[in-house]
Amino acid sequence: MAQPKAPAEELKARLTAMSPESHSKFFREILVTLKPVFVSREPNSSKFGYYVPNVPMQDALAICQAVNEREANSIFYSSNHFNAVDSYITRETSDLKAFLDFLSPCYSSLLSSISISFPILQAEQGQSQERKLSLDGMQCLKLLQTSCTKLKTLELVVHPSNSFGLARNAPIYLRLKDSLSRVNEELRRISLLEKVIVRCFGNLDPEVEKLMKGFDWEVDTDQCKPY
């Protein structure tokens, strides 16, 4: 009695039996998801993997790439929302740059929707209460400007590791307002950007939320809201 085919083998067989003209539609059916695609860097490697809850996306992508790598990548990167948030703020910029380098300009320029950590704010030297946009935060925004030229939706995530100066009851100083304005100015330099969403996992200060909404950012303060 023949053993039933594993899902990966079945997918390979279906693609092999198809005409090349049918690949594009089929790629869209299996590579495009309404769920976020989580990006993770492989240990001690420059490569990245992808995880979608309850969806074998990594295997599906590899199989489609084996059939037509360029078309599979174009559909995958242009049509999904990628979550590249890293709660380890000291490596946020380096990992974002590594991810975009891994894609190469050919595919990083196709990204249309991505989540990253909210750009880091830091204290002015000798002024513990004043907040300014950090060099790492600025570099993240510059990377998006130069590499993600078709970006339409950007989600900025506020989590415990980067909520300095943004959490409830934090003093609101002029420098913080200036820093948020600077973030907004840099975002507006992403020419096709249509929507900025701030998702907060914690208690965002009401005054900070008001400032953000004044920039026409959507602010989601539902804590730990599931996708």
Q: Which DSSP string do the residues of 66-106 spell out, in sequence order?
A: HHHHHHHHHHHHHHSEEE---S-GGGHHHHHHHHHHHHHHH
The verdict on residue 11 lying in a domain is: no
75 with 90, same domain?
A: no
How far apart (Å, rounded) are the C-alpha atoms in residues 15 and 102?
A: 26
Q: What is the pLDDT of residue 170?
A: 54
The verdict on residue 68 lying in a domain is: yes
38 with 143, same domain?
A: no
The last residue of a domain, from among 36, 53, 80: 80
Residue 5's pLDDT band, with cuts at 50, 70 and 90, is very low
28 pLDDT exceeds 80? Answer: yes
152 or 126, greater pLDDT: 152
Strand positions, DSSP E, the chain: 37-41, 48-51, 81-83, 113-117, 121-124, 127-133, 153-158, 195-200, 218-220
161 with 66, same domain?
A: no
Q: What is the pLDDT of residue 219?
A: 94
76 with 148, same domain?
A: no
- Residue at token pair 């900070």: 208
195 with 121, same domain?
A: yes
71 with 102, same domain?
A: no
pTM of the predicted structure, to 2 decimals: 0.85
27 with 114, same domain?
A: no
Residue 218's pLDDT band, with cuts at 50, 70 and 90, is very high
> Domain of 27?
23-80
116 with 218, same domain?
A: yes
134 with 220, same domain?
A: yes
90 pLDDT exceeds 90? Answer: no
The last residue of a domain, from among 33, 57, 80: 80
Q: What is the pLDDT of residue 122?
A: 64
117 with 30, same domain?
A: no
Looking at the chain, the whole-number percentage of residues with pLDDT higher than 70 is 80
168 with 196, same domain?
A: yes
Reduced to 3 DSSP states, what percent helix, strand and coil does the chain have, rounded to the nearest 5? 45, 20, 35
75 with 93, same domain?
A: no
The verdict on residue 160 lying in a domain is: yes
